[in-house]
Structure formats: structure tokens, C-alpha cells
Amino acid sequence: MSNLYQGATGDWEVVIGLEIHAQVISESKLFSGSSTKFGSEPNTQVSFVCSAQPGMLPVINDECVRQAIRTGLAMGCQINLRSVFDRKNYFYADLPQGYQISQFKDPIVGEGVVTVDLEDGSTKDIGVERLHLEQDAGKSMHDQHPTMTYVDLNRSGVALMEIVSMPDMRSAEEAGAYFKKIRSLVRYAGTCDGNMDQGSMRADVNVSVRRPGEELGTRTETKNVNSIRYMMLVIESEIRRQVGVLEDGGTIAQETRLFEVATGTTRTMRSKEEAHDYRYFPDPDLLPLEFSQELVDKLAKEMPELADAKRDRFIKDLHITSYNASVLVAEKESADYFEELLAATVAKTAKPVSELGTLVSNWVTGDLFGALKKLGKGITESPVSIEHAAELLNLQVDGTISGRIAKEVFELMLETGSSPETIVEEKGLKQVSDTGAIETMIDEILAANADKVEQYRGGKDKLYGFFVGQVMKQTGGKANPQVVNQLLRPKLDG
């Protein structure tokens, strides 16, 4: 497997590192009691602290600390029992304090490794350098007035986790897989909602290229990329640009770049010379952040099951296919839906989970996902409730309807929102298992098609399907296929 990029003058190796900013799920901000609710009216979620009124002081929100520890645990990282908050000083209108409280030298979470799944089925270990807690800035709005910029401080002071990777990725695909992995981890851990369109997760993308085996090249950093697709575009466009510059005999400038959605490329934001001197120093308003190993152990014990463990359990305990298991755990909501539905189906059918795993997982990944895709909806917006879905599967398990009828009923459920039992009742879709009735029907069909019976008996085995089809046609598909088989074959063969 080669990740090398072919330039005009030979191969290039790409080196990628990501700084992922993940907004912490918490009721209130990192250092004040203001709410963190997204989408509120501008400047309605602002305290005296997060608007930097004179004399106001930050007080750490313990829940944000616990969330950072949980995230560190989910990534298998070292948890630092003592860390320090520093001030990162710079002026901007949406940074009311004139500094951002962050962690510079001593972050709350240290090194770790995450394993990512690649498309060809292989895996790769990507190093995590650190995770630190910091405040988000407010939002500048440049489109509200012809000459003025407005500032919304609702986001000012909201807790962010900055997750810094090692420069371990060698392709856009690996970077995408790593980002997806981190997103899955924080979502399963319940520490970040991962909503990229709301800005809850965004990445600064560091890219450099070098000849294989040589020293690291000069990197560029593209700021605030807020989708996986964009991130991959950024990487691909940076590779092309950097290789182009180097092959033309130029040098890469260490600089900060911005992604432009319209062109799918990046442009210079500020050069190294224009880079800020942030003058980091320990925040004298805050004591070093210290907690006990007992707290870490307690949080580790309470950690929810993460995607990889869940997938393994699905395969081992529920006997579902590796493919289905991977599809289900890809999004926490899908896995949650599946598990809830499985439990509800178990309750209805009184059958063990190991017998139902395949049926339920096939239905969720096949029928339900197919329908949702057509509707353009996510699993949380599913028009079919767990209750109705379990009822549908139960009707199939207890033989009331066949698998084929179940698909029909599901279509009607999507259309009408009615319960499957009602639909089956109203439309008369109940499977016919009455052997007497079916036997009479078979006798009539065999009598009416004596020529075909002859041909069958003469060795034309394929005609068996014709007779089954005739029975199904006459029952409107409701005949229990097993019963039909049991009765039809001896009559034909006899």
C-alpha cells in the first residue's frame, strides 16, 4: 500500500497533523455560569465574566474538567492530575478579555494512540499528542451593517477541547478516518455532540510534503475547517500546491491559510512574520487544576461503551455480521436505535437476543436505512417508532406475516404512520397457515395444470416455483411459504 503522491519529478510523501477543536457538552461555560445553548438570540447568554467586565474572575466548571478526562480516557491517553491554565494574549473584538484562557505547557490530557479503520480494511495507529481545555471566542458578524461589525458573545467562554494529533497521517483518507474516529469517540463518550455544521467540531489542518525518507518539510496550517469533506479537499489542494511550488524550485512559507469553499482551495491568511506573539503565561486568577486518581478511576468505571467495544460485542453476542455491526456503530444514534429495537423485539417475541440479532440488524441496516435515505432523514428523525418497528418484526417472527409482506407493511407504516398490526388487520395481510385451506388450493391448482404436473414429473424441476407462485397468487402472497412447501412437494413427487 503506497500513500506516495506522484509529482512531475518523482514521489512525494505527505505529512499531516490535525488540531481538532471539539466543543464540550456542558450546561454552562468553562469559567462562568452562562448557558451554552446553541442558536439563542445574540448576546443573551452572556455573564459579567464572559463579557470581561472589570473585576470579574473566572471559576472553573468542574463538569468541563470531567468531560476532558472522559475524552482523554476514550482516546486511551495519559491523564495529567495536575495541569495549568495559561493566558493566550491577543486583541480581537470578539475576544472580550483580550486573552483566551487555554492550557499551554501543562495540558490536562497527555499522549495516547487511536486506531483508525481505512477503506481497504486495514487499520492504522495515529498518535495523540495532547488534549487541552480552552475558552472559545465570541462571534464577529460582518454582514449586519454596511460599515460596522457586530459581536455576539453567546459563544464567548464556551469550553473547547483542543485535541492535537502527532504528524502521523500520510493521506487525506487517513486524516478523514482519524477525524471520524475522534468524532465517534467524543460522541460515544458524550463529551461533544460532533455537530460540525454548528461548529461544535472543527479542525486546523497542518500539511507538509517531503521526499520519502527525508527530513520533514515546512508545514502550512489551514484554520477552522468544519467538515470532513472540506478537510480532505484542503489536504489535496495543499499537496498539489506545495508539490507544485517545490518542483518549480520554490520554497514553502510557514504560514496560516484559509480554506475557500467556492474554489475548494486555500489562500494565505497570515505569514510567519505576521504571526501573533501570544505571550502565554500562567493565569494568575486560577490555581493549577488538580484532581485525584480516584476521580479518574471513577470516571473510567462509569464510561459508556465505545464504538469498537460495541461492534465486537454485537458480533460475538448477537451473532450479527461484521459488516452490519460496523454500519450500526458508525453513528452512536444508529447503535442506540438498534439496541433499543432489539430489546423491544426481545420483549415482544420472548426469544433470546442471539436469535434476533441478525433479523433486527438486517432490518435496521437494510429496510430502515434505505427508507431514511430516500426520505433524506437521520435515524433520530425516523418516522417509525421503536414500538412499531418491534411490532413489525414480531409479526414476522411469530409467522403472522412473511418477510415479503413485512416489507409491504413497512411501506404502509411509512406512508400512514399506523401500527403494523392495524395495517395487517385492515389490509387482510395475515399469512395463511391453515393447512386444510392450502391443501384444497394445491389440489385445485394441480388439477387445473395437469400438463405442467406431467412435465415436472418428467424431470422439469424448475416448474416447482411455478406451483408455489400459483399458490401465492391465489392467496395474495399470504400463504405461509413453509406450509406450502410441506404440502406441495409430496403431492407433486407422489
Partner 1 sequence: MTELTKLTLSAARDGLHNGDFTSAEITAEHLNAIDDAKELNTYIEVTSDQAMNMAASADAMIKDGNAKGMTGIPIGIKDLYCTKGVHSQSASHILDGFKPEYESTVTSNLWNDGAVMLGKTNMDEFAMGSSNENSYYGPVINPWRATGSDKNTVPGGSSGGSAAAVAADISIATTGTDTGGSIRQPASFTGLVGFKPTYGRCSRFGMIAFASSLDQAGPLTKTVRDAAIMMESMAGYDAKDSTSINVEVPNYEAALTGDIRGLKVGIPKEYHSDGMPAAIEKLWQQGIGWLKDAGAEIVDISLPHTKYALPTYYIVAPAECSSNLARYDGVKYGLRVAGDSLDDMYKNTRAAGFGDEVKRRILIGTYVLSAGYYDAYYLKAQRVRTLIADDFKSAYQKCDVILTPTAPSEAFNLGDKVSDPLAMYLNDVFTVPASLAGLPGISVPAGLSSDGLPLGLQLLGQAFGEEQLLNVADVLETAAGFNIKPAKWWGE
When the beta carbons of 280 and 464 are compared against partner 1, the nearer one is 280
List contacts with partner 1 (CB under 8 A): 48, 51-60, 87, 89, 91-93, 96-99, 149, 151, 277, 279-281, 284-287
Shortest Å, Cβ 48 to partner 1? 6
* Cα maximum dimension of the chain: 100
When the beta carbons of 92 and 323 are compared against partner 1, the nearer one is 92
Shortest Å, Cβ 190 to partner 1? 27
State the DSSP H helix or E strand holding residue 484, giving kind and residue range, or none if neither.
helix 481-493
Shortest Å, Cβ 158 to partner 1? 18
DSSP assignments along 229-256, one per residue: HHHHHHHHHHHHHHHHHHHTT-----EE
When the beta carbons of 134 and 193 are compared against partner 1, the nearer one is 134
Q: Which of 25, 29, 65 is nearest to 49 (CA)?
A: 29
When the beta carbons of 93 and 309 are compared against partner 1, the nearer one is 93
Shortest Å, Cβ 373 to partner 1? 46
Shortest Å, Cβ 243 to partner 1? 31
DSSP assignments along 1-40, one per residue: ----EEETTEEEEEEEEEEEEEE---SB-SSS--B--TTP
Shortest Å, Cβ 284 to partner 1? 4
Q: What are the cell numbers at 147?
A: 460599515
Cβ neighbours, 10 Å, residue 368: 22
State the DSSP H helix or E strand holding residue 159, giving kind and residue range, or none if neither.
strand 159-165
Terminal CA-CA length for the chain: 60
When the beta carbons of 86 and 255 are compared against partner 1, the nearer one is 86
Cβ neighbours, 10 Å, residue 240: 14
Per-residue H/E/C for 430-459 = CCECCHHHHHHHHHHHHHHCHHHHHHHHCC
When the beta carbons of 6 and 149 are compared against partner 1, the nearer one is 149
Shortest Å, Cβ 90 to partner 1? 9
Shortest Å, Cβ 339 to partner 1? 41
Q: What are the cell numbers at 61?
A: 466548571
Rounded CA separation 128/252 (Å): 26
When the beta carbons of 60 and 472 are compared against partner 1, the nearer one is 60
Q: What are the cell numbers at 151?
A: 459581536
When the beta carbons of 123 and 147 are compared against partner 1, the nearer one is 147
Shortest Å, Cβ 21 to partner 1? 22
When the beta carbons of 90 and 323 are compared against partner 1, the nearer one is 90
> Taking the alpha carbons of 451, 453, 454, 456 in that order, is the dihedral positive or negative?
positive
H-only helix segments in 350-462: 353-362, 369-375, 386-397, 403-416, 420-427, 435-448, 450-457
When the beta carbons of 98 and 366 are compared against partner 1, the nearer one is 98
Residues 221, 206: contact at Cβ < 8 Å? yes
Coil vs helix vs strand at 140: strand
Shortest Å, Cβ 60 to partner 1? 7
What is the b/e burial string over 285-304, where b = at least 16 CB atoms within 10 angstroms of the residue's CB?
A: ebeebebeeeebeebeeeee
